[in-house]
Amino acid sequence: MLYKRSSELFVAANKVIPGGVNSPVRAFKGVGGTPIFVKEAKGAYLYDEDGNRLIDYINSWGPMILGHAYDPVVNAVIEKAKKGTSFGMPTELETQIAELAVSMVPNIDKIRFVNSGTEACMSAIRLARGYTKRDKIIKFSGCYHGHSDSFLIAAGSGLSTFGVPNSPGVTEGTAKDTLLANYNDIENVKALFEANKNEIAAIIIEPVAGNMGCIPPAKGFLEALRAVCSENEAMLIFDEVMTGFRLAKGGAQELYDIQADIVCFGKVIGGGLPVGAFAAREEIMNYLAPLGPVYQAGTLSGNPLAMAAGFEMLKALNSDAEIFNRLDQKTAYLEKGIHTVLTEANIQFTINRVGSMISVHFDANPVFDFETAKNGDNETFKKFFHGLLNRGVYIAPSAYETWFITDALSYKDLDFTIKAIEEVANEL
C-alpha cells in the first residue's frame, strides 16, 4: 500500500505538533515508519488519506464496540448539536445516562461524568484519599491510568520501595506516595501493606490489563485484592476505562463477581466522544463537592454531545441480549485462527484474551505481568505489524497494547485477517 499523503501530512504536523501527534503511541515510535492519517471510518473499516481501506482492530482504543459511525450515535450527536454544544449548566440528559449506567453496573449508586479516563482515575484517587484520610496508593507496574502525576511512576527495587518518577515533570514528592506492585502477585501487595500500615488509601488496578498487551487476572487475584483492602480499610479502585461496558454490561465487576469501592469509566461510555466517569456507593460519592469536602469540577463535564453519544451507546448495549456473546465468539474465532497459523509457521507466541480484548505476544512463555510482557520479541512484532498493515489490517502500533474487537466485524473480515496473518507469518 502507498502512504504518500500520510507521509506529507506527518511532515506538516511535526512543524506545529510535538512529534506530529497528540498522543505518543500514534507516532509509530514502537514499530517504525510513518503514522497513518485517517480520513473517515465506517463499521469495521478505516479509510486513510491515501484512499486505503484498513480493517480496524484498535477501534479508537476501545469505544467503537459497535463499529465506527454507528448511526444511532451519529444521529443523536447531530440532533443535540443543533440545540447547542455546551451550556455549563445541568441538563436532563445527564441524569438519564447516569440512571442507565447505574442500572447496568453492579455495586454503584451514583456516578459523576468528567472529560477523560485520565480525569476519572485522577478524581477517583483524590476521592479515595479524602474519604480514607490517607495519602499512599498502590498501582501495578504496566497498568496505565492516564497521565496524571501520581500514575507516571516506575517500579523501584525491593517489595516496599517507594516509586520514582518515570517522566520528567513528576516530582519525587508526588512519587513517594505511589507504591508499585507486580500484577498478579498478591504477596507483593501484602508486603506493601505490611510495610505501610494504616497509610494506604487505595489500590488502583486495571482488572484486565490492556496496556502491556491483554493480561488477565490470575485466578483468585482480584478476590485477594478485595480481601486485603477490606482487612486494611483501604479502597479498591477498578480502572474500567477499557473493560467497562465492553466485557459485560456491568464490566469486570460483573464478569468476575468482585465489588470494587470506586469504578472508573471511559471509552465505551462516551460512544467515541471525549468522556470519562467515576462511580461508587452513595456514602462514598457523597464525599464529593458540593455535598462533601473533596473538590472536583469541570466546565465541560456532562457535555451534551458526549452525553448524547454515550446514552445511545449504552442503550444499544443494554437492549441487545446477545452482544457480549457475539463479541466473545468473534474474538474466540480470531484467536483460534491466529493460533493455528502461527503454530503451523513454527513461530514462538502466546495469545492472551478476555472477551473482546486480545493480544499476541511473540514469546512462548506465559505472559502474566509487565516483566513477562517485556520478554516478547519486538523485532518480530514490528515485522508482524507492518506486514499486516501492508495487507490492509490495522492493529495497535505497539507490542504493549491490546486489540479491541468490534461487533461490526464480519466473519469474512476475520477470515481475511487470519489469511493475512498466515501470509505474514510465512515471511517472519
CB 338 within 8 A of CB 294: no
Cell numbers found for residue 313: 451507546
Cα-based distances in Å from 279 to 110, 121, 203, 303, 321: 6, 11, 16, 18, 24
Which of the following is catalytic: 80, 110, 139, 267?
Answer: 267
Residue 138 CA to residue 203 CA, distance in Å, equals: 5
Based on the residue annotation, tell me whether 47 is a catalytic residue of this protein: no
Residue 361 CA to residue 377 CA, distance in Å, equals: 8
Residue 236 CA to residue 156 CA, distance in Å, equals: 22
- For the CA atoms of 150, 156, 159, 160, the dihedral, rounded to the nearest 10 degrees, stands at -60
Which of the following is catalytic: 48, 56, 239, 407?
Answer: 239
Task: Calculate ∠ Cα 373-203-268, nearest 5°.
Answer: 70
DSSP 400: T
Based on the residue annotation, tell me whether 239 is a catalytic residue of this protein: yes
C-alpha closest to that of 338 among 409, 211, 407, 425: 425
For strand 357-361 and strand 350-354, is the pairing parallel, antiparallel, or unpaired?
A: antiparallel
Residue 330 CA to residue 324 CA, distance in Å, equals: 10
CB 392 within 8 A of CB 385: no
With a CB cutoff of 8 Å and minimum separation 6, the contacts of 339 are: 351
With a CB cutoff of 8 Å and minimum separation 6, the contacts of 192 are: 138, 159, 160, 179, 181, 200
The residues with which 68 forms a beta bridge, in sequence order, are: 43
For strand 357-361 and strand 403-404, is the pairing parallel, antiparallel, or unpaired?
A: antiparallel
Cα-based distances in Å from 141 to 64, 138, 163, 292: 27, 10, 10, 32
Based on the residue annotation, tell me whether 149 is a catalytic residue of this protein: no
With a CB cutoff of 8 Å and minimum separation 6, the contacts of 426 are: 345
Which of the following is catalytic: 70, 144, 183, 394?
Answer: 144
Q: How many other C-beta atoms lie within 10 A of the C-beta of residue 344? A: 11
Residue 73 CA to residue 65 CA, distance in Å, equals: 12
For strand 136-140 and strand 200-205, is the pairing parallel, antiparallel, or unpaired?
A: parallel
Query: Which residues are catalytically annotated?
Result: 144, 239, 267
